[in-house]
Chain A
Amino acid sequence: MNPSSHPPGDAPVPSPENWKNDEAALLTMLEEIERKHGYIPHQIGDEVSRLLEVKLERLKRAQAKLETGIRRDVQQHVARWRGEEGNLIMILHAIQNQYGYVPREVAMELARELGVRLARIYEVITFYHYFKLQPPGKHNVTVCNGTACYLKGAAGLLNELRAQLGVGEGQTTPDREFHVDVVRCIGCCGMSPAVVCDGKTHGRVKPTDIAGLLAGIRSQAKEAKP
């Protein structure tokens, strides 16, 4: 990726792989060329603008595909509940199940499809805790804060998570790897305090177990990759 490894004098037309995904790399490369030649040769300028157009076209196509995808999904969910009065919440559940949250584009599409105002949909989404407007992290760590868990030290678990990940309740780590959340009660009071990691419930968790839990998630993710 380092542009200086391709001396521009030898290869005036840069390989698109070098910078097509990386604006910063492109700029660095152009600067490098300018420094070396005192100007930017027109072949390179032409090539860059051609590739940019190709990229833009691709983006547009992806956008259109996404929009038809969203439209199709929304239409499917609406069709499932059409004719039922008061179906909005059930449709939102279906959408959240699919995307993990309610993306803005989907909500807009849903408003069009149902023929109601967007505000009416957001009114419902924001009232209920269950619906999320932000994409969840790759891994979700949920601490139960029901009364039983609270008494048995859920606050200590949250503190430990903050110490380990640097984020607290309702926040996602900057690398979007972990999302920490607090729920009211998951009904596992017999095993309090409870922590749910990616859908798996762990009971009787101590603050000292948190590091192990996080390491377990990380290593599982690593195993799954190759």
Chain B
Amino acid sequence: MIFTRSQLPSAMRRALLVAFACFGLAHAAWPVTVVDDLGRDVTLSAAPLRIVSLVPSHTETVCALAACGRLVGRDTWSDFPHEVRALPDVGTAFAPDLEAIVALRPDLVLVDEYSGAADALAPLGLVVYAGTPQRLDEVFGLIERFGRLLGAPTEAALLQGRLRGELDGVTAVVANRVGPTVFYEIDPSPYSVGPGGFIGTLIALAGGQNVVPAELGDFPLLDPEFVVAADPQVIVLADAPYGVDAASVAARPGWAGIAAVRGGRVVELTQEQSDVLSRPGPRMGEALQLLARILHPGAF
């Protein structure tokens, strides 16, 4: 075959790209073994091509590693990116439809470490990775591990770099600003988040001062009086999709006098925003930007 002068470079480039991609998939030091959060060795003898994810953030991470097309099944709550909604729904990690999962013939199943799904799936002859990141640094670790498992180390490095850049970009902007005090409400009990967990860390990075002290744990149930006494300047309602709004917060006994209520800084999150903030995964840069815009409305 003869190439014209103008065709040659692009054709060669394409051929080289394909060759590198194939090389990456076929020769990236298989078999690969990583250790999951249950301390089990997860070994793959070749790049997985039929992946089932039972965790929404795992689904997002696989897709962010440009492997969305290798997913063949998802859990009920996996809804991002939008194309995964077309995949077969195989239940939730706590009540997985085992036979539907087996029938999909997956070569890798991604689950969390708490639900017991790993104990149910591994004896069926499936390769199972069990574990979810709870902190920012664990997200980076998970991306690296998934990069190796999926034979996509380059994509993993790129994704880590992009996330690092997004996080650094926000922290640079908020660095010299005094952030407001924040109360983040998960449900109207009220449950909130401590500074040690994923959302708490994002709040701190975004320059907010969480009114919840660390010693109460990652998901404390608070006395409403505590919130009134703490007098936060911003209230973030992650429970807004479930019917809580600024008006109902203002109507709670004693809450009308809270600075956030008086100053009109009670923020109602949408379902999608709430998902972004609660899924430790490739959208955490977006999550931090969202929080920073809420806490520093003038800066962005």
Whether A and B are associated in the same complex: the answer reads no
Taking Cβ atoms with an 8 Å cutoff, the residues of B that contact A are none
Taking Cβ atoms with an 8 Å cutoff, the residues of A that contact B are none
